[in-house]
Amino acid sequence: MHCEFLNVARRRALALGVRGVLLAGIAATLAGCNATTAADTTNSIPSDYRSRHPISLQEGKKSLALFVGSGRGGLAPMQRAEVLAFAQNWRRDATGGVTIDRPVGGANERAANDTLKETLSILVQAGVPQSGIGIRPYNAGEKLGSLRLNYPLTVANAGPCGLWPDYLGPSYDTKHFENKQYYNFGCATQRNLAAMTANPADLVQPRAEDAVYNGKRTFGIDKWRKGDSPATTYPDAAKGAISEVAK
Distance CA(17)–CA(32), nearest Å, equals 23
List, edge to edge, every strand of the sheet that includes 146-157: 56-67, 146-157, 98-104, 133-139
As a whole number of Å, the CA-based R_g of the chain is 38
Fill in the amino acid letter for 198.
A
Q: For 33-82, what is each residue's pLDDT tens digit? A: 544 444 444 456 788 889 999 999 999 999 999 999 888 878 999 999 99
Contact of 94 with 104, CB cutoff 8 Å: no
Contact of 138 with 112, CB cutoff 8 Å: no
> Rounded to an integer, what is the distance from CA 68 to the centroid of its chain?
33
What b-and-e string marks burial along 171-184, b requiring 16 or more CB atoms within 10 Å of the CB? eeeeeeeeeeeebb
Every domain of the chain and the residues it spans = 49-54+159-195, 59-154
Mean pLDDT of the chain: 81
Fill in the amino acid letter for 10.
R
Q: Round to the nearest angstrom and report the end-to-end CA distance of the chain.
A: 134
Name the DSSP letter for residue 201. G
Fill in the amino acid letter for 90.
W
Distance CA(130)–CA(114), nearest Å, equals 18
What is the β-pairing status of strands 98-104 and 56-67?
Answer: unpaired
- Predicted model pTM: 0.59
Which stretch of DSSP H or E encloses residue 83?
helix 77-93
Q: For 163-215, what is each residue's pLDDT tens digit? A: 888 877 777 777 777 778 888 999 999 999 999 998 898 888 888 888 888 88
Domain 59-154: CATH class, spelled out: alpha beta
Contact of 188 with 207, CB cutoff 8 Å: no
* pLDDT at 1 (0 to 100): 47
* Percent of residues, the chain, with pLDDT higher than 90: 39
